[in-house]
Chain A
């Protein structure tokens, strides 16, 4: 049996945990934007391999561990 990397990843941000460090939208600007106060906004799922790598890096760099990644099966 082989495992495959998911075709897409959907990030979810726990906004009670997020404190607006901004590491996610600095790391993965195609997936996250920031609102006027500096809190992140999810733009959508990461669907390309480059975007998937970016969103995984964003989650790993979050100092609050506020980002969860879900396999996006469509």
Chain B
């Protein structure tokens, strides 16, 4: 029997910093190295935390909330929220009650009804790109679409998108390269502005409610009319539900759109497959979700437990990068290659277990429509070798800038 390692074992110590601006370009190589040498590693960053990289370990962890609590999902602990983000930082049984209210808001049927509206937003953004031979795809499209969709779902003014984008950027990324203290201060300041903005939206709605008329009933109103075990939700709860919807919905879809377009710009044969057979798009969306899975949450250990050959103790924190799970060769043959028709593809881009991304049906819809309309309109595009994309890691991997040359192929 092999002896168990623990947080102090010298041979599992790694210098892994999820927020390092230098880590992003080689992160999948890093995950592959860790997976083959040390699948449950320990980093001394941010007060010390573990990092899991095998699909099966990550899958087991996220599906076992009584041992792996979501009370801490970020490393370091705060992104500037006041209290817990609901329901992602809530464990069962309360989690179940919140999800019963929130899951139906993002159901496939409700989302399918939004398809014409989302397609309209997509087409308008693409219209604005027409006639230009180069664009920053982030600025022109990837950042705009999810924020406009979010604002439309909430029933708020689409013109507020730039403010939301800036706040989310700061809360997700902190100040890259700055000290932990400086990043936390910036995140908290952004958090305060977000709560003030949400509170203003709720106040406005109290003055002119939209209850009762199905057409007008948006998520703001449903939450304001919503209950937890029979009592109305408090304003504090509503704010922390809205915060999570915003954090979960904006940066994630932006990054997924951008990562997909980078891949398709660099692989004209894959783009051609989409042009030749648009029916491959739903499967292509799943494969791009697997290939570039943005989210890397943490869990907090509630009782001593062994993962692989490592002893974790109560209070320990472990990162579970879905991007590492989804490149595990034990689960996905040739994991670093894209196969737009990969099958089976049981990826964990949206997580698994109780905290499965509640917005997954919306994200899929946005991605599918964007893939369809983008390629209908701009079948040919390529990267600009003199102005390459700028990516970032953090716990939501993404893309800051994506200069694209339209009308040409690589």
Contact = CB atoms under 8 A, between A and B. Distances in A.
B350 A21 contact: yes
Contacts of B353: 19, 64
B361 A22 contact: yes
Contact of B108 (A19, A22, A63): A22
A67 to B, nearest CB: 11
A23 B346 contact: yes
A26 interface: yes
A38 B346 contact: no
What interface size band does chain A fall in? 10 to 19
B105 to A, nearest CB: 10
A60 B356 CA distance: 18
Interface in B83-130: 103-104, 106-109
Contacts of A61: 343-346
A60 B344 contact: yes
A62 B107 contact: no
B103 A22 contact: no
Interface in A18-33: 19-23, 25-26
B57 to A, nearest CB: 15
Contact of B107 (A23, A38, A57): A38
B383 interface: no
Interface in B338-371: 343-348, 350, 352-354, 356, 360-361
Given A61-B344, A61-B346, A19 B109 contact: no
A26 B109 CA distance: 12
A55 B356 CA distance: 22
Contacts of A26: 282
What interface size band does chain B fall in? 20 to 34
Nearest to B356: A19
Interface in B308-363: 343-348, 350, 352-354, 356, 360-361
Among B106, B344, B353: residue with most chain A CB under 10 A: B344
Contact of A63 (B106, B107, B346, B354): B346
A63 B344 contact: no
A34 to B, nearest CB: 5
Contacts of A34: 107-109
A19 B361 CA distance: 12
A4 to B, nearest CB: 23
Contacts of B347: 63
B63 interface: yes
A23 B282 CA distance: 11
A65 B344 CA distance: 12
B107 A36 contact: yes
Contacts of B348: 63
Contacts of A23: 346
Given A19-B354, A19-B356, A62 B346 contact: yes
Q: What 4 pairs across the A-B complex have the smallest Cβ distances?
A: A60-B344, A19-B356, A38-B107, A63-B346
Interface of A: 19-23, 25-26, 34, 36-38, 57, 60-65
22 contacts: A19-B353, A19-B356, A20-B356, A21-B350, A21-B356, A22-B108, A22-B360, A23-B346, A34-B107, A38-B103, A38-B104, A38-B107, A38-B108, A38-B361, A57-B343, A57-B344, A60-B343, A60-B346, A61-B343, A63-B347, A63-B352, A64-B352
Given A19-B353, A60-B346, 19 more contacts: A19-B356, A21-B350, A21-B352, A22-B108, A22-B360, A22-B361, A25-B108, A26-B282, A34-B107, A36-B104, A36-B109, A37-B103, A38-B103, A38-B106, A57-B343, A60-B343, A60-B344, A62-B346, A63-B356
